[in-house]
Structure formats: C-alpha cells, structure tokens
Amino acid sequence: MEGLAVFHHNNDNNKMKVVEKDKVISGMLRDELKRCREMLGSLERSVSGLPKGIINKRKKRYKDKVYSYHYLKYRDGSKVVNKHIPNSGVQELLEKLELREKYEKEIKSYKSKIAYLSKILGSDKKRGHGNRSKK
C-alpha cells in the first residue's frame, strides 16, 4: 500500500469558499456579475424591438404562371400569424431575424454566466422568494 495515495475530504471544507477568503476575487466576480446583468438587460431590450418568427416563401400558379411571395410566420400567444412581406422588405427582415437569433444565443449565454456567478458568490440563497429587501 505504499504507492497508494489516500485523500480525505472533510465536510467542513465544502462550506468554505475561495471567494469568501479573497476579497479581490470576490470583488472581481461581483463586478462581472453586475456587467453580465447589465448586458442581459440591454440585449433583452434590443430583442424586444426586433421581429420574431421565420420567413417562408409560397408559390401560386395562376394562368400558367408561377407567382411567389414571402411571408413572416410567428406566434402571437397561441395563434400562428402569417404576415405578407413585400419583396422590397425581405432582405431587411432577414437581417433583423438573424440579428434576433444572434442576440437570443447571447442572452442564453449571459443567463448561464449569471447563474454560475450567482452560485459562486452565494447571492441566490433565497431562491424562489425574490429579493424583497430592495423594494
């Protein structure tokens, strides 16, 4: 048994966090958490002003000719809405939809960062009760 390393973990060590020991690291993490929350708010405001849904293209036949047109398909509550888009506005709408998709991915990333930082800092101990002290 000479080559065997045995590690003992004490339950008390799990309660002590590195963040509590080092004020500099704690401050940096709090600043990062604040920055992430500000960015999340900014991104959510930006997304709220962008259109949602997808662009579909329909083709119709009329008197041996094929006509095509674009429409925006999205949900409004439980209803599915199909909105006609003129050909002149399709490219602009595509760009806005791509931007919305990009922002939504960033929002997801920031939410996971915020959850991780909150867990490290222990700022979400009262989960589910809201922060009533700041009202």
- What does residue 45 show for φ and ψ, rounded to 5 degrees? -65, -40
**Residues near 95 by Cβ (< 8 Å), separated by ≥ 6?**
none
pLDDT in tens, 44-102: 999 999 999 899 888 888 888 888 888 999 998 899 988 888 888 889 999 999 999 99
What pTM was computed for the model?
0.65
pLDDT in tens, 88-117: 888 999 999 999 999 999 999 999 999 998
The encoded tokens of residue 94 equal: 């595509």
